[in-house]
Amino acid sequence: MIAMILAAGRGERLRPLTDKVPKALVEVGGESLLERHLRSVKATGIDTVVINLGWLGDQIVERVGSGSEFGLNVIYSPEGDNILETGGGIHRALPMLGDDAFLVVNADIYTDMPLPVAPLPADDIGHLVLVPKPVHKNAGDFDLVDGLVRNAADPTYIFSGVAVYRPEFFADCEPGRFPLAPMLRAAADAGQLSGSVYAGLWRDVGTPDRLIELNA
């Protein structure tokens, strides 16, 4: 299995900090979010990681390099000034991610969850890790019913930003900029997404206040 870390975003909600630092290199406890994720990926036994690059991506390359410091082989998928969003970024990196299911982690989360690397059931196009809806969120994303991710009128959980996907999930996509969320909702309606819930440490490092809280 190969892993991908989504690190291309502008980090608008974290400005002005992210005017000079890419959000993936924002630090909690003296370690950047990206470096923490790389260590977590290595702990699963995965050896190859794809990182997509956008805003200030050269700083990420300078910090991480080949990945040898983490015992990893790091491959970069540069998007330049045309940041492709979650779906488009993954789609562009597909040739680097191999023919088997691959792990995806959003760079802008802070968590101690064990990353999922178990094989997907034959009928599943993907597996999402869900977390309980935090107090700052007005609404959830999904429910989990008999091990399957489902859309609901008043969902209990939100998507953690950690998932496993088969390449076939993106087979009908066109190159370019597009979000992942509508694809996930369609797959949930079709009963093609398995899921699990992680109730431990997880934070969306999306605002300066949340970053201050984590560093307190």
Full-model pTM: 0.94
Please say whether the beta carbons of 23 and 110 come within 8 A.
no
CA–CA separation, 176 and 128 (whole Å): 23
pLDDT of 17: 73
Structure token digits, residue 133:
């809806």
Please choose, from the candidates 103, 141, 107, 127, the residue with its C-alpha nearest in 3D space to the C-alpha of residue 192.
127
pLDDT of 130: 98
Please say whether the beta carbons of 174 and 185 come within 8 A.
no
Along the chain (216 residues), what's the average pLDDT of each consecutive run of 10 residues?
Answer: 94 78 90 96 97 94 96 96 93 96 96 91 94 86 96 95 97 94 97 96 85 79
> Domain limits of the chain?
3-215
Rounded to 10 deg, the angle between the 33-43 and 57-64 helix axes is 50
CATH topology of domain 3-215: Spore Coat Polysaccharide Biosynthesis Protein SpsA; Chain A (3.90.550)
pLDDT of 206: 76
